Structure 1
């Protein structure tokens, strides 16, 4: 069974955090799978800048579409 998480009215950082939690993953789990530092996960979840290549790998691990990346990741 596939679970679907629909989030509206939340910022990109919160979307990333809630998706991670819904999947039962810790920040360290996502960081290891995406080959990034834990600080990158924290920064993304707070809506701060992370290098696009790292952001893309995190989104892929979480199964989030790249529409977040296209909107930009600004402070």
Structure 2
């Protein structure tokens, strides 16, 4: 999660997203070149200001945390 109020450059965004499997965009449009660079993303959610998409994103995060908890419990 990025908390810096200044806009992120496209290069910095691509570099950060190459290290993750999900991207949730809140407001700004993303150019097509972004998606050509970060092909490993499994979850891409844009316009999360709509309630339905926000609910789905939250459910996905809950599912991931539940699986992580089960894995840790097996250790």
- TM-score w.r.t. the length of structure 2 is 0.24
Higher relative contact order (CA 8 A, sep 6+): 1
More strand by share: 2
Greater Rg over alpha carbons, structure: 2
